[in-house]
Amino acid sequence: MTKDINCEILIIGSGAGGSTAAKYLTDKGRDVVLIEEGNRFDKDNVLNSFSDVLKKAWRQGGIIPVISKSKFGFGEGKCLGGGTFINGGLMWTTPDIILDKWNKELNTTIFKKENISLNFDEVTKNLGTENLKNNINIESSDSIKLKEIGEKNKIYVAKVPKSINSDNTNKLTLGSVRKNKNSVIDKFILDSEVKGLRVITNCNAKKILTQNNLISHIEATLNNEKIYISAKKFILACGATQTPMLIKKSFGNNYLNSGLEVHLNLRIGVKFNYEINVDKELMFSRQIQEYLDDGVLIMPTSFNKSSFFASLNKLNNEDLLQIENSLNSYASFIIQLQSENHINLNNINNNIVLSYNLSSKDLIKLKKYFTKFCEFLFDTGALEMILPFNKNYILTKNMNLKDYFDQNVYQSNLEMVSVHGMSSAKMGNNKSNKTIFDIEGKSFDFKNLYSVDSSILPSSTIESPQGTIMSLSNLITKNINYN
């Protein structure tokens, strides 16, 4: 067997989890190789349009279809930086309700608030974002709308921590093209590269090879040629769909019964009674958190005229023309729901197949929060809304909201996406075909195998997960015994 590359620690995947581990270990002077299946986009290798970003930096060139009664797609990054390259970079701490649940269910204190906060602070400090919350001076009009809704209805609207990406425009999640600074790539990967981290892109780990209770090698392809990488320790950070896929490809489908926990995003296009012009403004800075304990968050979302318009392809020409004429009056918001059911993640002949069924409890929640939020919006100057429905998607002010949502919120009428997948190879106290890593991220079966990405989280987080993933990755990486 040719052992083409040798190192002390191999990290597979360069996203939120992998890049955090790479930074920590390189700073400690370890001999680390970081491999990434996707491409590297440097400042002089810029992606210029949203379609370019989708094609080149997202897995499967955009959205991965999820077999479901609803129209449903899942999205994640595939490039140096993984999801951190294409996301808005908002860094939230883990909600207390989630940390309490993890400590209780896993009978531990590892996830106590101080512990996670300490790691969160270390990560954000390294990214240069210590003063996030104090940094918002100018707010976008859609954020001001939420603030107004909060004050009027006495509901809790939180200030969003600023994005770690310095391009804080309202177009960011539609493609953080590399010409703008992206802290994670710069501070965690490129800076570490200067300090000795070996970064290999277009390198796809295909199979984990074992010898007794140790991992001996990874079989990978580098620019489509087979290579082998040996190391003393192996850290999986391939993300929510690919870490379980690599495990399944290596140890068989029965080794891991994988479900992807997700947050569902349902987008509402809202026409206001004035030109709101959000596409020219900054990224949103407010989020409705009043219903967090019920798994629901409501916030504005990135707005870009062309992609907003393109997303309306279900509309007829007459409606489209009307919207085109008043596009400056539109903003979009999302209801984000922690899904009760997970997405089934299947490996069929080395291809990923995702399937999902929305629970009746979640349907009831959606009806409730669509009704509430649309009522708030109409009450603060909204004239008309475009709902994420296949049929009857236009809602106007004179309609009865309760009847409208009772009639239209059913599975096959919904259109939703998720860009927050997690807990697909979750940690646990005992080895089973659902939990193959312990609560310190170490494999139960292989002494030198760890996982530090979104797949390891004990459950979904309700809030955006990147801050949690990075904090946990930092914590796990610190606690690995390197002797």
Q: What residues from 68 to 97 belong to the interface with ligand FAD (CB under 6 A)?
A: 75-79, 82-84, 86-90, 92
Binding of residue 17 to ligand FAD (CB under 6 A): yes
Q: Is 246 in the site for ligand FAD (CB under 6 A)?
A: yes
For 114, counting Cβ atoms within 10 Å of its Cβ (0-12 exposed, 13-18 middle, 19+ buried), the class is exposed
Site for ligand FAD in 386-445 (CB under 6 A): 419-420
If one asks whether residue 38 binds ligand FAD (CB under 6 A), the answer comes out as yes
> Minimum Å distance from CB 30 to ligand FAD?
19
Q: Are 148 and 295 in contact (CB under 8 A)?
A: no
Question: Does 161 help bind ligand FAD (rule: CB under 6 A)?
Answer: no
Helix (H, G, I), strand (E, B) or coil at 133: helix
In the complex with ligand FAD, the residue whose CB is nearer, 168 or 204, is 204
Residue 139 binds ligand FAD, judged by CB under 6 A: no
d(CA 469, CA 455): 9
Which positions ≥6 away from 65 have C-beta within 8 Å?
A: 72, 73, 354
Place of tokens 């140790």: 214
- Residue 151 Cβ vs ligand FAD, minimum distance, rounded to whole Å: 25
In the block, residue with structure tokens 């997700």:
262
**The one among 237, 266, 377, 387 contacting ligand FAD by CB under 6 A:** 237
User: Shortest gap between Cβ of 50 and ligand FAD (angstroms)?
Assistant: 11
Type of residue at 260: L
Does 240 bind ligand FAD (CB under 6 A)? Our answer is yes
Residue nearest to ligand FAD (CB): 15
Q: Which is nearer to ligand FAD, 93 or 448 (CB)?
A: 93
Question: Helix 360-379 crosses helix 401-408 at what angle (to 10 degrees)?
Answer: 150
Among 36, 142, 281, 290, binds ligand FAD (CB under 6 A): 36
Contacts (Cβ under 8 Å, ≥6 apart) of 278: 140, 141, 142, 170, 300, 303, 330, 331
Q: CB–CB of 46/334 below 8 Å? A: no
- Distance between start and end Cα atoms, the chain: 26
Does 295 participate in binding ligand FAD (rule CB under 6 A)? no
Q: Does 177 bind ligand FAD (CB under 6 A)?
A: no
Cα 393 to Cα 45, 205, 273, 300, 347: the distances in Å are: 40, 43, 19, 19, 35
Binding mask 187-216 toward ligand FAD (x if CB under 6 A, else -) reads -----------------xx-----------
Binding site for ligand FAD (CB under 6 A): 12-18, 35-38, 75-79, 82-84, 86-90, 92, 173, 204-205, 237-240, 242, 246, 419-420, 453-454, 464-467, 469
